[in-house]
Chain A
Amino acid sequence: MIETQNLSRRYGDFTAVNGISFSVGDGEIVGMLGPNGAGKTTTLRMITGFLPPTSGRVTVAGKDLFESPREARRQVGYLPENVALYTEMRVREYLGYRARLEGLAGSEAKEAIGVALDRCLLTDVRNQIIGTLSKGYRQRVGLATAILHKPKVLVLDEPTVGLDPKQIIAIRELIRQLGRERTLLLSTHILPEVELLCDRVIIIDHGRIVAEGTPQSLRESWMGTPGVRVTIKDDPTGAGDSLAQVPGVMGVRPGPGAGMWVLDCEGGADPREEVFRTAVQQGWTLIELTRERGATLEDIFVRLTTNDAALAEASSTAAAASPAAPAGNQEVAS
């Protein structure tokens, strides 16, 4: 549905986006993740036709954005990062204006406005002046504008930024519903959002794609198998050596407290059962036996974007794009 080839964009000497190629399939929900200034907004602006790329191509629903910009734009609904609306208009009037701008008229426009108001739960405020609406409602008006002309593709730039938690939940629910019927590309730097909403993630940093895949596959290829935490009462001597003998355990490190150990595990292994048997054999009293929290996207994100910044400075090669060796030795965060 969306196809980008080697997309680049420079602002003067600064390269905001540097050779990004990806595609989004029909009906997919793809999240674009990256720290501030990574090039997310620039990429989305090129896909919506607001910014022409310095080089590369964008195709939306089979239409090249450069060759047939108007046909391509017709297929895209866009919610920019800052939803700027004409504050002096009423919601209904604003949607009417947008409908005319999209070339809808008469009963077709009326029906489209009704659907958009309904889907975005704006029917109650349809006669209100936009300037008097809260940020959450304005975001919904922005979304209503984006879906008004029934586009095949929806592009949302940080749709929940600046909203309160309750509004965030409501907008996410709305996005999830909208994503069922169309192709959706959204950018965010809120990681749980991606896990909640997206089928696939593209991580961008310094204008390049540094990783791509489902949240699950990213987790596996980047963070390895989670470790196991064991606490044994009275801290018996030789416990560390005994634990190292347990099948599936690669390494043993002392934990932060007395009798506490952290086991690094082989790929895919879960040695908890074996640890329990060993404890019974040795006559230990087990107080704790927990599998550490698996890698979250947050961990991956922080690793990728911090490592990459250092790497990019050290050498200009895109070596960071290959998965690192499994490193399951992360501590449980808070």
Chain B
Amino acid sequence: MSAVWATYSRELRAYFFSPLAYVVLFFFLVVNGIIFLNLISFLNDPRAAGGPPMGFFFNASWLMLIILGPVLTMRLVSEELRSGSIEVLMTAPVTEGQVVAGKYLASLTFYMFLWLPTLAYAGMIASYEDVDWGPVMAGYLGVFLVGALFLAIGLFASSMTRSQLVAAMMTAALLFLLFLVGLFEELVNNEVIKQALGYLNIWSHINELAKGIVDTRRIVYYVSATLFFLFLATRALEDKKWR
């Protein structure tokens, strides 16, 4: 346990000590601000069909995760493989699983930290109208689940290569694929395939959760897929030794 904690705290520090974190935080907030601003001015139009602002917000904002995922995770293992610090790390009495867990939890913590300022949007809305907090919380659960999966995929890609760029591109490709596969739901006529793709459609999952519909199947899907990629990351790290 102390090994997980050691890796976690050192990784989290590394996030806050790198300029990347602040650049990411800055642009994340700028883009979110633009989305929110446009959303509010759009909803202020008397001709607009009403709806919960935060629900719309999550629907647009989560798309940034396709870029955010690679950026937040590319460094995690690749950097250690490139610099060679993996050697002193793995000769300490730690297991690959502990290292993966520590690094993953650090990226997840930083990811949650990124979303923290957006609570202010909900607060702002609350000062003008009544907010139904259930769907807002469910929306946050949605971006948490999707983010958790994306970070796991990114960590897996980072464990595969010593190049951060390759890791980032691999992650972006996988995430984009996952995004597209879900969209195909709308394009397919075959009922069975349509239904199958529906289980993978991240956008509709977010939409559903932002409306306040918490379906356990979705939670099971994201949690198990996340664990699967973390398992793959552990195996990728173990595999590094044998070559």
Contact = CB atoms under 8 A, between A and B. Distances in A.
B92 A102 contact: yes
Interface residues of A, number: 32
B14 A73 contact: no
B6 A100 contact: yes
30 contacts: A11-B243, A50-B87, A50-B90, A52-B242, A70-B93, A70-B94, A70-B95, A74-B93, A76-B91, A78-B87, A78-B88, A80-B84, A80-B87, A80-B88, A82-B84, A84-B83, A86-B10, A86-B14, A88-B18, A93-B13, A98-B92, A100-B2, A100-B6, A100-B9, A101-B3, A101-B6, A101-B93, A103-B93, A142-B88, A145-B88
Given A52-B242, A78-B91, A86 B3 contact: no
Contacts of A271: none
A289 to B, nearest CB: 54
Contact of B94 (A11, A85, A101): A101
A52 B14 CA distance: 30
Secondary structure at the B interface, as helix, strand, loop or mixed, is helix
Given A86-B10, A89-B10, A100-B6, 10 more contacts: A12-B243, A45-B87, A71-B93, A73-B92, A76-B91, A84-B83, A86-B14, A100-B2, A100-B5, A101-B89
A102 B84 CA distance: 19
Interface in B7-52: 7, 9-10, 13-14, 17-18
Nearest to A78: B91
Nearest to B10: A97
Contacts of A73: 91-93
Interface string B84-114: 1101111111110000000000000000000
A49 interface: yes
B217 interface: no
A51 interface: yes
A142 B90 CA distance: 15
Contacts of A103: 2-3, 93
Nearest to A51: B241
A86 B85 contact: yes
A48 interface: yes
Given A82-B84, A86-B85, A97-B10, A49 B3 contact: no
